[in-house]
Amino acid sequence: MKPRLLSPHVKYTAASPGLVTSSDCHLIVFAKAPVPGKVKTRLVPSLGALAAARLYERMILHSLSTAVNSRVGLVHLWCTPSTEHPFLNRCAKEFQVALHLQENGDIGSRMAHAFQEALKVVTFALLLGTDCPSLTQDDLTEAVAALRRGSNVVFVPTEDGGYCLLGLSQYAPDLFNDISWGTEVVLEQTRARLRELGWSWHELPVRWDVDRPEDVERLRSEGYLNLNEQSRKTTDREIGR
């Protein structure tokens, strides 16, 4: 059975930081403040701005739960455009994770900065977004294992040509500079950079992320989410209340 997306309106729990089994890895979760009209904008025409933001909150919770309960390392929540949003502060408190502000710039610059900071203090770092509920705790466990076996890089590819998880044992700016972010060639461009660097990498099974109205339907059909059918036609309706 697929894990359901957590509700943003109820109390949730996470594994204690004391149960983390490794201190040599950081899990970096990238998230935006769930401001209606600023997140999941491609879903707004079908769901409404508020419902799209509520769905995004549930995806943040799901990603944090997956990361924390994988117990492969300490989890750090990297936010944009600020760390002051009440929902993000609630996440930090209840999941017992540290909050960080993402660097300015494109997604490549922001990921590069987060990896640089993490790899100053740990041997391995995994970075995941909040758009891929099909990413599992087992994926995170296998990703760290691949790095420990000697891979320089590990990916979880997505169906749209990008990736939903990137893991590194060392940093190189070429992995993030001049990549066509948000396009179907991101992963192939990154593979090409790795070949140029002479680095080894490991790829896990392909996952899918949630960007389009048909992806929300897939959430429902694959058991991640039960949406009120009327919310597909109404505007600004909160999901799960």
CATH number for the domain harbouring residue 219: 3.90.550.10
Among residues 188, 144, 150, 183, which one has the least CA distance to residue 165? 144
Question: Is 200 within a domain?
Answer: yes
Question: Is 160 within a domain?
Answer: yes
Question: Is 32 within a domain?
Answer: yes
Mean of all residue pLDDT scores within the chain: 89
Question: Is 3 within a domain?
Answer: no
**Number of domains forming the structure of the chain:** 1
pLDDT at 238 over 50: no
Residue 129 sits in which domain range?
Answer: 21-223
The pTM (predicted TM-score) of the whole model is 0.88
How confident is the model over 80-135, as pLDDT tens digits? 999 999 999 999 999 999 999 999 999 999 999 999 999 999 999 999 999 999 99
pLDDT given for residue 23 in this prediction? 83
The alpha carbon of 193 is separated from its chain's Cα centroid by a whole number of angstroms, namely 22
Across 16-30, average pLDDT: 76
pLDDT given for residue 223 in this prediction? 87
How confident is the model over 176-209, as pLDDT tens digits? 999 999 999 999 999 999 999 999 999 999 999 9
Q: What is the DSSP string of 116-164?
A: HHHTTT-SEEEEE-SS-TT--HHHHHHHHHHHHTT-SEEEEEBTTSSEE
Question: Is 4 within a domain?
Answer: no
Return d(Cα 17, Cα 195) in angstroms, integer: 37
Alpha-helix runs per DSSP H in the chain = 44-47, 49-70, 86-95, 107-118, 137-148, 186-197, 213-221
pLDDT given for residue 8 in this prediction? 56
Question: Is 9 within a domain?
Answer: no
How confident is the model over 218-234, as pLDDT tens digits? 998 998 875 433 333 33
Question: Is 232 within a domain?
Answer: no
Which one-letter DSSP state was computed for residue 26? E
> Is there a contact between 198 and 174 (Cβ–Cβ < 8 Å)?
no
Number of neighbours of residue 21 by Cβ within 10 angstroms: 11
Question: Is 229 within a domain?
Answer: no
> Does 124 or 12 have the greater pLDDT score?
124
pLDDT given for residue 229 in this prediction? 38
Return d(Cα 128, Cα 63) in angstroms, integer: 8
